[in-house]
């Protein structure tokens, strides 16, 4: 905080922070100076001129939004001349503004409308003729429209697009009275680079930019606004839902949302249509003779309880396995694993985190003692150097990407991207390393080799805070830039430059995701990132750390709450006798002390017939898991399969019993986002009649199976969680409020933890692991000559259960495709959009070719969202030996033109 | 036959007037008649636009110079046979000569040439010509014997103020940039000359590009910049071509590039072409444009001297300003400061256009009066009509009436009239010019060129323009004047950059000095200058009409009818006021009312 100074506004003395924005200070002190272009989230523009003031001893009229407060400023905010000028500005703006307020969706929340009222400016008393010739509206984008006739050219959208979202797609075009805004220098919105995040709409003070799906749905004063958490990814954006008659009208980012600061992506803002889909499940289903029939809750629950009890009796609890859900709340995950462990009597509980960050949890736990993001999301904006590897952040964590872009564009940070694909962030990067898929240990070791050789390592930190440095050093010494170039294909000069950039940064942060974790060497990769941070002392402090980006909205929470085969909630080991005893006492039942089956292992055991029944809550392995043909056979081989979900997913179609559940718009409970922040949901809509909350279903099933479970609500469950889970010890619903709390939060008085390992690592000392490079399990050969990699795209989410039921998202990306390089396309004589068959040792799919230089010449990338051409029919289920994560990022394939 | 050097004025102005065929003809004659001893060269513009194309014949033995004006390829033949081959000067065509017997000698009487000292004389594509006329002497002096502070002090002492319009002291500007902290600094030449009617920068760049480069290198040295840009509009292709040649030559000769003149000072210069947006002449918009962004002014502070191109300290000077630098260093600040007035030192180049007899470029000491410029140098009003006003400072300037003709030309005196020095455009108007139309013309320009940022500049100028348009259409109402004045005042007071702050000047000055003319339009529905079509009508004086029917035959809309023996009549409802009848009537029977 800067020092406080005294200023005077209209004779009143005010204490203000030196350097603060004068307009803001004036408004905070009750001087309602008008302004249209001022937007506190972006740099001041000084365009509308409404906030003009007079400052003693300064010439002319000065826009207060551009003035920084300094000692002794003597300001006139209101006098007749200033108000005359302001009225004239409003008159000028109204003279150019299409007065379509009667049908405008912004009416009543329009800043110009308010000013017209305040200054009594109407068409009748306007001293100028009103504009009558209108330009056409650009509504070519699937999600947003621009009406130039309502635009006041304040530039807030332009700055929001650049300074907040880091995209810079919108700018002014034209001159003089013709000036307006447009994407990409004046192309149609549809053909521009706009990705539909809608930040511009949120910034627009009038109705010039608006949401197409919301048009005509409700007047602003008819809607009820309820805040909750976005149902999509792990960023955990706080959203404000406007609803009318149990339908969502519009979604806005919440400005003081702790993770998103008002920002959203296209899915968060526009991806809600699925919620009102008529395909929602409304009643339990029982399969008879291969066909589903509707059933009562009692019948379905009784049947399930009977089947589970029988199988448990005949084959033991370990013949049943459960998949919990990264889409469900913390409370529901806790209840689900409790059900599997206490009622079924098995540790066979896992969830899709196995497929994304199992190696992170294993690797970072070994290196630091805790497997989560070390820092908070918004710290990224202030790092001097960010190394992003194996994360196409722009598409998978769009809001986090904006902070990375802010760091580069607004604060001059250096960005290093290491990725085999030329992802969007490469545009912002100082340096791009295009490594061969699966060679991450090698280039990371190469960078560390240079850092050591050039003496850029943090000797003090290594001495005081770490162990294992000497053994580690011996391995890294073998990775000279020359050798690394041979393994990875990254020129040695770039390895050296990366080492110098990262090694000399004051605050360096590593961001990684599935490109690092989904390998048979996933744990090794993670350990290497940890080594790099330890070597340079870039962990355990603000803005510096190792930050795995978690995928699903509550994948962090599902892990935290013990939906894993080896740990109870809070990463308490099932093999630890003391821990086991604690839970046995709490749950009043004997528990198993053996580690259970992981996702892929469950499928393997089901295939073999050792697992007889499965209970799947809110997951869709029939699209998400590797080697789908194998998964399909495994699930069909089960004696009994229960699925509970909001839609009849690909997996639910194979079930014997299906339970209809609530969506996150209908629930209370908590999600834990990727920065370890536990945030409270608010029920926004009434759930479809006939559905139940997931925890309720599990509880009723437990009761039917004779286990006493009596929670009244999710808050009750959280009380139990806090009781048995040290890192959640201080979490109670009443404490969460708008900002939530970040674990570790040990007790009632603990404010939570912004960044981890300050002063001391969770495990004591940071541990260096000597890691050698091991090639991927499957490499291209003569028959399968290309490298196949899979991943996500911006417009769809995971298995598409939600996003593919949203028409505007389908408009952006309607179906499956494979990214194929121009080189490979030329070789196959392939044109953009033509069909190709892609085959691996495990299966084949037919999809459309998208020819793009994003992929390396000999590589193919397929988004895995699309069941009709499921990438996971091709992927390899070879596992990382420690984390049991499959190698989804590297497989060998062949490509044929159809 | 003597030894001759022949130069042809080949600035854009000369070329536009037909200098190329003249040059080609001369070249052809030299070859055909086999005169290898005659050298033929291009030169820039000497300032005599109204006499282009210009050909100068220089007797290299006697030094006798003869400048011919209005030369055509046909005239070239005669000049060749009579002057070159027979040493006989063709008196009638001489506009200026060493003997001072040309027809235009007094154009130069009151001029003092610093910036234009070489234009129209040297070959702009020859660094040798530049070196032969003291070129790069100033740079040598600086490199050999002056510190950065010495240079800045010298420029400060000279009193040189920015010639781009605002008149900020150049030495002070350099001092700010010198003192700004930064690992990298930029030196920029603003060659985005955008005022309609101003062309001195183009002329200097086309006629004497090295003088600007020399000024830039000295400035770069003074502020500590190692990289520079000349921001020149793409509409000046010849200037860009000659600058590129000059940069290459200067680099080759060690006046530019690495280790200038063997010192450890390096300065790299390149050209950035602008797309011709008027607002890009504003410093912060110019910086944005160089960075590849849309040219839009931004808030100051920070000033470019602190944070300019890519956030680095940046110093921007106008072409004419820079062209003064070498002269000051060579001749000393005192000599420069001895020219001009107390607060405006040195000379200023003006481009004269409009209704004066001599149009073109002149360079005069500051402090000369408008009357001297218009009547002595420019020769007074064409056809000896009555002087009405002079618009000084382009679209951002103002109209000065006859009563203020004795105003001395300096920054402060011009500002006091409501006009500005600006870049030095002077448009002279006579009694036939409607002052409301003049205001409308300039406002139309600025409202079109507004970047669209500030509400007043974007919408206010448009509303003012529409009001003026209504007045010239005869639809004005008395309240319009107060409203216009209020809006003009607010726009001036409330805009971010110079464009908006000065755009109302033509309106405000015409309202101040020619309010009666506005009133005539609004109340009497008359245009005293008879320029506004909606307020005039053409009539045929029956006493003068001889029924020759020429007018009727030339009327594009058949609005004139008559018969032999009966005076012709114009049907006012059909007349489109094109004025054809007035021009074609041999008897002066058509009148404007």
Residue-wise pLDDT for A801-857, tens only, equals: 889 999 999 999 999 999 999 999 999 999 999 999 999 999 999 999 999 999 999
Same domain, A340 and A417: no
The CATH number for A667's domain is: 3.40.50.740
Q: How many angstroms separate the CA atoms of B502 and B423, rounded?
A: 13
Burial class of residue B365, CB neighbours in 10 A (0-12, 13-18, 19+): buried
**B279 to chain A: which residues are within 8 Å by CB?**
175
Is A339 contained in some domain?
yes
SS (H, E, C) A517-559: HCCCCHHHHHHHHHHHHHHHCCCCECCEEEEECCCECCHHHHH
How many residues are given for chain A? 898
The correct CATH number of B127-336 out of 3.50.50.100, 3.40.50.11540, 3.40.50.300, 3.30.70.360 is 3.40.50.11540
Which B residues in the span 171-200 are in contact with A, Cβ-Cβ below 8 Å?
A: none
First to last CA, chain A: 65
Identify the domain containing residue A384 by its residue range.
358-548
Same domain, A427 and A291: no
Name which of B292, B299, B301, B443 to mutate to probe chain A: the one with the most chain A Cβ atoms within 10 A of its Cβ.
Answer: B299
The token pair that represents B438 in the structure block: 């003049």
Q: Give the residue among B336, B323, B316 at the shortest CA–CA distance from B176.
A: B316
* Interchain pair B453, A92: CB under 8 A: no
Burial class of residue A635, CB neighbours in 10 A (0-12, 13-18, 19+): buried
Name which of A46, A49, A96, A121 to mutate to probe chain B: the one with the most chain B Cβ atoms within 10 A of its Cβ.
Answer: A49
Q: How many angstroms separate the CA atoms of A397 and A415, rounded?
A: 17
Is A200 contained in some domain?
yes
Distance from CA of A180 to the nearest CA of B (A): 8
SS (H, E, C) A36-85: CCCCCCCCCCCCCCCCEEEECCCCCCEEHHHCECCCCCEEECCCHHHHHH
Chain B within 8 Å of A88 (Cβ-Cβ)? yes
* Interchain pair A176, B450: CB under 8 A: yes
The CATH number for A803's domain is: 2.40.40.20
Is A766 contained in some domain?
no
Domain count, chain A: 5
Residue B421 sits at φ, ψ, to 5 deg, of: -65, -45
Same domain, A408 and A507: yes
Is A140 contained in some domain?
yes
Q: How many angstroms separate the CA atoms of A146 and A133, rounded?
A: 16
Chain B within 8 Å of A496 (Cβ-Cβ)? no
CATH architecture of the domain with range B347-430 = Roll (3.10)
The token pair that represents B104 in the structure block: 């235009």
Chain A within 8 Å of B334 (Cβ-Cβ)? no
Is A804 contained in some domain?
yes
Which B residues in the span 83-122 are in contact with A, Cβ-Cβ below 8 Å?
A: none
Residue A409: closest CA among chain B residues belongs to which residue? Answer: B310
As beta bridge partners, residue B270 has B229
Which of residues A250, A276, A302 is at a domain's end? A276
Half-sphere exposure of A617 (CA within 13 A, CB side): 33
* Interchain pair B447, A176: CB under 8 A: yes
* Interchain pair B462, A176: CB under 8 A: yes
Helix (H) or strand (E) holding A322, with range, is strand A320-323
SS (H, E, C) B176-209: HHHHCCCCCCEEEEEECCCCCCCCHHHHHHHHCH
* Interchain pair B299, A46: CB under 8 A: yes
Please name the member of A60, A89, A177 whose beta carbon is closest to the beta carbon of B447. A177
Same domain, A138 and A240: yes
Angle A522-536/A358-367 helices, nearest 10 degrees?
40
Peptide bond into B53 cis (omega under 30): yes
Chain A within 8 Å of B487 (Cβ-Cβ)? yes
Is A455 contained in some domain?
yes
Q: How many angstroms separate the CA atoms of B175 and B200, rounded?
A: 27
Per-residue pLDDT tens listing for chain B (593 residues):
568 999 999 999 999 999 999 999 999 999 998 888 899 999 999 999 999 999 999 999 898 999 999 999 999 999 999 999 888 999 999 999 998 888 898 899 899 999 999 999 999 999 999 999 999 999 999 999 999 999 999 999 999 999 988 899 999 999 999 999 999 999 999 999 988 889 999 999 999 999 999 999 999 999 999 999 999 999 999 999 999 999 999 999 999 999 999 999 999 999 999 988 999 999 999 999 999 999 999 988 899 999 999 999 999 999 999 999 999 999 999 999 999 999 999 999 999 999 999 999 999 999 999 999 999 999 999 999 999 999 999 888 999 999 999 999 999 999 999 999 988 999 999 999 999 999 999 999 999 999 999 999 999 999 999 999 999 999 999 999 999 999 999 999 999 999 999 999 999 999 999 999 999 999 999 999 999 999 999 999 999 999 999 999 999 999 999 888 889 999 999 999 999 999 999 999 999 98
pLDDT of residue A526: 95
**A92 to chain B: which residues are within 8 Å by CB?**
455-456, 459-460, 463
Q: Are B400 and B438 in contact (CB under 8 A)?
A: no
Helix (H) or strand (E) holding A393, with range, is helix A393-396
The correct CATH number of B4-107 out of 3.40.50.150, 1.10.150.120, 3.40.30.10, 3.40.50.300 is 3.40.30.10
At which residue do the structure tokens 């086991």 appear?
A580
The token pair that represents B101 in the structure block: 């017997």
Model confidence band, residue A799 (pLDDT cutoffs 50, 70, 90): confident
**B452 to chain A: which residues are within 8 Å by CB?**
153, 172, 174-179
* Interchain pair B455, A61: CB under 8 A: no
**B70 torsion bin: left (phi>0), alpha (psi -120 to 50), beta (else):** left
Strands A859-863, A786-791: pairing is: parallel
pLDDT of residue A873: 87
Same domain, A509 and A470: yes
Chain B within 8 Å of A621 (Cβ-Cβ)? no
* Interchain pair B463, A92: CB under 8 A: yes
* Interchain pair A153, B453: CB under 8 A: yes
Name which of B284, B285, B459, B480 to mutate to probe chain A: the one with the most chain A Cβ atoms within 10 A of its Cβ.
Answer: B459
Is A801 contained in some domain?
yes
Beta strands in B355-432 (DSSP E): 360-365, 387-392, 398-401, 425-430
Q: Are A150 and A98 in contact (CB under 8 A)?
A: yes
Torsion of CA B451, B453, B455, B461, to 10 degrees: -10
Which A residues in the span 158-217 are in contact with B, Cβ-Cβ below 8 Å?
A: 171-172, 174-179
Same domain, A134 and A250: yes
* Interchain pair A92, B486: CB under 8 A: no
In chain B, where the domains are located: 4-107, 127-336, 347-430, 435-522, 537-592
Same domain, A369 and A327: no
The CATH number for A378's domain is: 3.40.228.10
Sign of the C-alpha dihedral, residues A214, A215, A216, A222?
A: positive
Same domain, A681 and A823: no
Q: How many angstroms separate the CA atoms of A39 and A255, rounded?
A: 12
Domains B4-107 and B537-592 equal at CATH topology level = no
Please name the member of A47, A88, A178 whose beta carbon is closest to the beta carbon of B453. A47
* Interchain pair A92, B493: CB under 8 A: no
* Interchain pair A127, B447: CB under 8 A: no
pLDDT of residue A100: 87
Q: How many angstroms separate the CA atoms of A779 and A210, rounded?
A: 49
Q: Are A782 and A483 in contact (CB under 8 A)?
A: no
Q: How many angstroms separate the CA atoms of B393 and B194, rounded?
A: 11
As beta bridge partners, residue A9 has A12, A75
Candidate from A363-372, A498-507, B322-331 with smallest mean pLDDT: A363-372
Same domain, A575 and A683: yes
Chain A within 8 Å of B275 (Cβ-Cβ)? no
Which of residues A527, A548, A569 is at a domain's end? A548
Distance from CA of A166 to the nearest CA of B (A): 15
The token pair that represents A492 in the structure block: 């040695």
Chain A within 8 Å of B143 (Cβ-Cβ)? no
The token pair that represents B52 in the structure block: 């282009």
Please name the member of B459, B462, B483 whose beta carbon is closest to the beta carbon of A127. B483
* Interchain pair A176, B456: CB under 8 A: no
SS (H, E, C) A651-694: CHHHCCEEEEECCHHHCCCEEECCCCEEEECCCCCCCCCCCECH
Strands A62-63, A52-55: pairing is: antiparallel
A/B interface, count of CB pairs below 8 Å:
88
**A60 to chain B: which residues are within 8 Å by CB?**
493
**Fold held by B537-592:** Alpha-Beta Plaits (3.30.70)
Burial class of residue B88, CB neighbours in 10 A (0-12, 13-18, 19+): exposed
The correct CATH number of B435-522 out of 1.20.1440.230, 3.30.200.20, 1.10.630.10, 3.40.718.10 is 1.20.1440.230
Model confidence band, residue A624 (pLDDT cutoffs 50, 70, 90): confident
Residues A41-86: tens digit of each pLDDT: 999 999 999 999 999 999 889 999 999 999 999 999 999 999 999 9
Is A765 contained in some domain?
no
pLDDT of residue B1: 56
Q: How many angstroms separate the CA atoms of B449 and B452, rounded?
A: 8
Torsion of CA B292, B296, B302, B305, to 10 degrees: 60
pLDDT of residue A743: 92
What is each CA distance from B83 to A536, B35, B57, B75, B97, in whole angstroms? 84, 14, 8, 11, 13
Same domain, A396 and A297: no
Residues A262-297: tens digit of each pLDDT: 999 999 999 999 998 899 999 999 999 999 999 999
Q: What is the DSSP string of B326-357?
A: HHHHHH-HHHHHTSB-SSSBSEEEEEEEESBS
- Name residues whose C-beta falls within 8 Å of residue A151's C-beta, 6 or more positions apart in sequence: A180, A181, A206, A208
* Interchain pair A172, B452: CB under 8 A: yes
Query: Does the pLDDT at position A589 exceed 80?
Result: yes
Torsion of CA A265, A230, A811, A890, to 10 degrees: 80
Same domain, A461 and A489: yes
**B494 to chain A: which residues are within 8 Å by CB?**
49, 52, 61, 85, 89
Residue B409 sits at φ, ψ, to 5 deg, of: -85, 100
**B466 to chain A: which residues are within 8 Å by CB?**
128-129
Same domain, A222 and A336: no
Please name the member of A44, A127, A177 whose beta carbon is closest to the beta carbon of B299. A44
Which of residues A502, A533, A548 is at a domain's end? A548
Residue A83: closest CA among chain B residues belongs to which residue? Answer: B490
**A176 to chain B: which residues are within 8 Å by CB?**
447-450, 452, 458, 461-462
The CATH number for A151's domain is: 3.30.70.20
At which residue do the structure tokens 């470029």 appear?
B361
Q: Quote the percentage of chain A above a pLDDT of 90.
A: 90
Q: Are B473 and B567 in contact (CB under 8 A)?
A: no
């Amino acid at each position: 905080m800067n020092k406080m100074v005294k200023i005077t506004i209209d004779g009143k003395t005010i204490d203000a922070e030196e350097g603060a924005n004068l307009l803001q200070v004036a408004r905070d002190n009750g001087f309602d100076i008008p302004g249209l272009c001022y937007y506190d989230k972006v740099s001041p523009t000084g365009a509308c001129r409404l906030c003009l003031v007079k400052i003693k001893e300064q010439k002319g009229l000065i826009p207060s939004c551009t003035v920084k407060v300094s000692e002794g400023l003597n300001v006139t905010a209101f006098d007749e001349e200033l108000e005359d000028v302001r009225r004239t500005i409003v008159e000028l703006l109204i003279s150019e503004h299409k007065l379509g307020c009667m049908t405008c969706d912004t009416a009543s929340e329009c800043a110009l409308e308010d000013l017209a009222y305040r200054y009594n400016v109407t068409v009748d008393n306007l001293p100028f003729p009103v504009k009558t010739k209108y330009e056409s509206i650009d509504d070519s984008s699937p999600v947003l429209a621009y009406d130039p006739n309502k635009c006041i050219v304040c530039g807030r959208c332009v700055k929001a697009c650049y300074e907040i979202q880091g995209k810079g797609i919108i700018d002014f075009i034209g001159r003089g009275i013709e000036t307006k805004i447009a994407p990409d220098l004046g192309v149609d919105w549809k053909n521009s680079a706009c990705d539909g995040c809608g930040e511009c709409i949120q910034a627009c003070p009038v109705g010039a930019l608006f949401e197409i799906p919301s048009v005509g749905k409700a007047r602003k004063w008819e809607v009820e606004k309820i805040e909750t958490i976005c149902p999509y990814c792990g960023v955990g954006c706080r959203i404000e839902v406007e609803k009318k008659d149990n339908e969502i009208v519009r979604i806005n980012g919440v400005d003081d949302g702790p993770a998103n600061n008002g920002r959203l992506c296209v899915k968060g803002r526009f991806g809600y249509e699925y919620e009102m889909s008529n395909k929602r499940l409304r009643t339990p289903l029982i399969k008879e003779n291969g066909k589903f029939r509707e059933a009562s809750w009692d019948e379905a629950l009784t049947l399930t309880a009977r089947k589970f009890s029988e199988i448990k009796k005949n084959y033991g609890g370990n013949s049943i396995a459960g998949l919990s859900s990264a889409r469900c709340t913390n409370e529901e995950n806790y209840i689900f694993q409790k059900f599997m462990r206490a009622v079924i009597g098995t540790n066979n509980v896992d969830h899709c985190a196995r497929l994304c960050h199992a190696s992170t949890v294993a690797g970072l736990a070994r290196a630091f003692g805790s497997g989560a993001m070390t820092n908070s999301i918004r710290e990224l904006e202030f790092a001097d150097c960010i190394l992003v590897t194996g994360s196409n952040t722009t598409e998978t964590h769009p809001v986090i990407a904006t902070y990375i872009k802010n760091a580069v564009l607004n604060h001059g940070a250096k960005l290093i991207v290491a990725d085999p694909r030329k992802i969007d962030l490469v545009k912002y990067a100082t340096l791009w390393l295009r490594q061969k898929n699966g060679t991450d240990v090698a280039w990371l070791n190469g960078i560390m080799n240079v850092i050591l050789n050039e003496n850029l390592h943090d000797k003090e930190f290594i001495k005081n805070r770490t162990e294992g440095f000497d053994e580690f050093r011996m391995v890294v010494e073998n990775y000279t830039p020359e050798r690394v170039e041979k393994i990875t294909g990254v020129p040695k000069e770039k390895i050296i430059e990366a080492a110098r950039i990262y090694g000399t940064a004051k605050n360096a942060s590593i961001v990684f995701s599935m490109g690092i974790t989904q390998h048979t060497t996933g744990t090794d990769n993670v350990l290497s990132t940890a080594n790099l941070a330890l070597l340079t002392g870039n962990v355990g402090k603000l803005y510096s750390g190792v930050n795995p980006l978690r995928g699903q909205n509550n994948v962090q929470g599902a892990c935290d709450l013990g939906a894993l085969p080896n740990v109870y909630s809070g990463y308490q080991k099932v093999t630890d006798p003391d821990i086991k005893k604690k839970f046995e006492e709490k749950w009043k039942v004997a528990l198993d002390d053996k580690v259970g089956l992981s996702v892929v292992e469950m499928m393997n055991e089901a295939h073999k017939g050792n697992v007889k029944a499965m209970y799947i809550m809110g997951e869709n392995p029939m699209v998400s898991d590797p080697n789908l043909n194998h998964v399909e056979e495994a699930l069909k081989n089960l004696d009994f399969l229960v699925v509970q979900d909001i839609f009849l997913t690909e997996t639910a179609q194979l079930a014997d019993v299906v339970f209809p559940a609530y969506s996150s718009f209908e629930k209370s409970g908590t999600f834990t986002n990727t920065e370890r922040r536990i945030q409270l949901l608010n029920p926004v809509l009434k759930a479809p009649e006939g559905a139940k909350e997931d925890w309720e279903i599990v509880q009723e099933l437990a009761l039917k199976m004779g286990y006493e479970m009596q929670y009244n609500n999710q808050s009750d469950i959280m009380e139990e969680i806090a009781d048995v889970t040290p890192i959640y010890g201080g979490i109670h619903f009443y404490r969460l409020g708008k900002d939530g709390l970040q674990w570790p939060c040990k007790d009632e008085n603990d404010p939570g933890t912004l960044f981890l390992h300050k002063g001391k690592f969770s495990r004591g000392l940071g541990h260096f692991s000597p890691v050698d490079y091991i090639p991927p399990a499957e490499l291209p050969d003569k028959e399968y000559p290309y490298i196949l990699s899979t991943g996500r795209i911006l417009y769809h989410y995971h298995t598409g259960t939600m996003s593919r039921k949203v028409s505007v998202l389908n408009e952006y990306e309607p179906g499956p495709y494979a990214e194929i390089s121009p080189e490979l396309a030329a070789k196959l004589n392939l044109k953009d959009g033509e069909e190709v068959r892609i085959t691996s040792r495990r299966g084949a799919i037919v999809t459309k070719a998208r020819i793009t230089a994003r992929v390396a010449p000999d590589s193919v990338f397929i988004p895995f969202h699309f069941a009709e051409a499921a990438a996971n029919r091709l992927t390899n289920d070879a596992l990382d030996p420690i984390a049991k994560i499959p190698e989804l990022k590297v497989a060998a394939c062949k490509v044929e033109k159809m | 036959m003597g030894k001759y050097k022949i130069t042809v004025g080949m600035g854009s102005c000369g070329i536009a007037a037909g200098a190329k065929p003249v040059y080609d003809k001369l070249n052809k004659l030299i070859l055909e008649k086999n005169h290898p001893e005659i050298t033929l060269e291009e030169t820039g513009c000497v300032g005599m636009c109204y006499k282009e194309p210009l050909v100068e014949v220089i007797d290299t033995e006697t030094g006798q110079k003869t400048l011919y004006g209005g030369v055509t390829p046909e005239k070239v033949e005669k000049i060749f046979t009579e002057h070159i081959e027979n040493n006989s000067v063709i008196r009638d065509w001489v506009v200026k000569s060493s003997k001072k017997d040309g027809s235009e000698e007094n154009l130069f009487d009151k001029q003092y040439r610093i910036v234009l000292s070489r234009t129209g004389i040297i070959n702009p594509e020859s660094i040798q010509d530049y070196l032969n006329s003291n070129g790069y002497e100033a740079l040598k002096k600086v490199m050999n014997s002056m510190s950065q502070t010495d240079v800045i002090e010298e420029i400060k002492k000279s009193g040189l103020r920015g010639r781009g319009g605002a008149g900020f002291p150049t030495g002070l500007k350099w001092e700010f940039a010198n003192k700004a902290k930064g690992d990298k600094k930029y030196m920029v030449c603003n060659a985005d000359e955008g005022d309609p009617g101003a062309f001195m920068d183009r002329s200097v760049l086309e006629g004497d590009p090295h003088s600007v480069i020399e000024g830039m290198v000295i400035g770069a040295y003074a502020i500590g910049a190692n990289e520079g840009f000349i921001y020149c509009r793409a509409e000046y292709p010849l200037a860009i071509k000659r600058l590129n040649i000059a940069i290459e030559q200067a680099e080759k000769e060690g006046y530019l590039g690495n280790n200038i003149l063997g010192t450890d000072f390096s300065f790299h210069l390149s050209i950035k072409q602008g797309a011709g947006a008027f607002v890009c002449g504003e410093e912060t918009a110019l910086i944005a444009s160089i960075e590849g962004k849309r040219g839009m002014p931004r808030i100051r502070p920070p000033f470019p001297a602190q944070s300019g191109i890519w956030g680095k300290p940046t110093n921007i000077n106008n072409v004419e300003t820079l062209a003064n630098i070498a002269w000051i260093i060579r001749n000393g600040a005192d000599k420069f400061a001895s020219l001009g007035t107390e607060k405006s030192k040195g000379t200023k180049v003006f481009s004269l256009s409009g209704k004066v007899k001599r149009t073109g470029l002149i360079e005069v000491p500051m402090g000369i009066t408008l009357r001297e410029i218009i009547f002595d140098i420019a020769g007074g009003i064409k056809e000896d009509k009555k002087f009405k006003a002079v618009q000084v400072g382009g679209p951002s300037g103002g109209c000065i009436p006859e009563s203020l003709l004795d105003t001395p030309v300096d920054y402060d005196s011009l500002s006091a009239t409501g006009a500005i020095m600006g870049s030095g455009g002077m448009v002279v108007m006579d009694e036939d010019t409607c002052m409301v139309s003049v205001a409308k013309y300039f406002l139309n320009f600025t409202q079109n060129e507004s970047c669209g940022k500030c509400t007043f500049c974007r919408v206010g100028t448009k509303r003012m323009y529409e009001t003026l348009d209504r007045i010239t259409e005869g639809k004005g109402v008395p309240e319009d004047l107060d409203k216009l004045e209020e809006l003009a005042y607010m726009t001036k007071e409330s805009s971010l950059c110079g464009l908006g702050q000065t755009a109302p000047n033509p309106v405000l000055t015409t309202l101040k000095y020619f309010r009666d003319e506005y009133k005539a339009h609004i109340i009497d529905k008359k245009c005293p200058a008879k320029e506004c079509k909606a307020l005039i009508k053409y009539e045929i004086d029956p006493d003068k009409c001889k029924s020759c029917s020429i007018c009727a035959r030339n009327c594009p809309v058949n609005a004139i009818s008559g018969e032999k023996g009966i005076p012709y009549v114009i049907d006012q409802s059909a007349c489109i006021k094109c004025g054809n009848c007035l021009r074609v009537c041999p008897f002066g029977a058509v009148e404007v009312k």
